[in-house]
Amino acid sequence: MHTTNYSNTFIEIAEDCKVSQGEMPPLKGDKKTVANLQFDMLYENPYKYNSDEVLFGVFAIRKEFAKGELKEQRDHYFSKGQPCFRASPLTKSYGWGVHSNEEGKIAIYGAETKEYKKFLKDDSIKKVKAMRSKRK
């Protein structure tokens, strides 16, 4: 089984992120995007979910799985490696950093917040950058 979970880690916004503060992802049409669904799960529920729960939860919502098939689909989803929050539109395009606490539960922080800046200065937390949107 693969995992996308981190522990005691902060994912910084991408180098080429076009915004300098956390922005709510805009709706595109009548269906919520991956960014909208991730934002909705995390913004109101800091440190409730781990990365695997959010990423699979969004995948399951989009695929409209029946409740009875969630366990089987989750096992299949994590049977191969999946992109982590370094590849999330929240960290790449919308200015949100992701902090994983000791238990691996995550919360998002806008790049303009004092909490975001505090994580950057904290040497006890591992820092990784979100993936760039474009190649150098």
Closest C-alpha to 109, from 94, 126, 125 = 94
Residue 78 in any domain: the answer is yes
Residue 4 in any domain: the answer is no
Q: How many domains, the chain?
A: 1
Range of the domain at 120: 9-129
CA dist 55 and 120 (Å) reads: 24
Looking at the DSSP assignment, which residues form a beta bridge with residue 12? 129
Residue 65 in any domain: the answer is yes
Please tell me the predicted confidence (pLDDT) of residue 93: 96
127, 6 contact by CB (below 8 A): no
Torsion sign, CA atoms 60, 65, 66, 70: negative
- Average pLDDT of the chain, as a whole number: 94
Q: pLDDT, tens digit, for every residue of 68-127? A: 999 999 999 999 989 999 999 999 999 999 999 999 999 999 999 999 999 999 999 999
Residue 40 in any domain: the answer is yes
CA dist 75 and 88 (Å) reads: 21
Q: pLDDT, tens digit, for every residue of 30-81? A: 889 999 999 999 999 999 999 999 999 999 999 989 889 999 999 999 999 8
Please tell me the predicted confidence (pLDDT) of residue 28: 87
Residue 2 in any domain: the answer is no
User: What is the reported pTM?
Assistant: 0.91
Find where tokens 């395009």 sit. 93
Residue 67 in any domain: the answer is yes
Please tell me the predicted confidence (pLDDT) of residue 135: 75
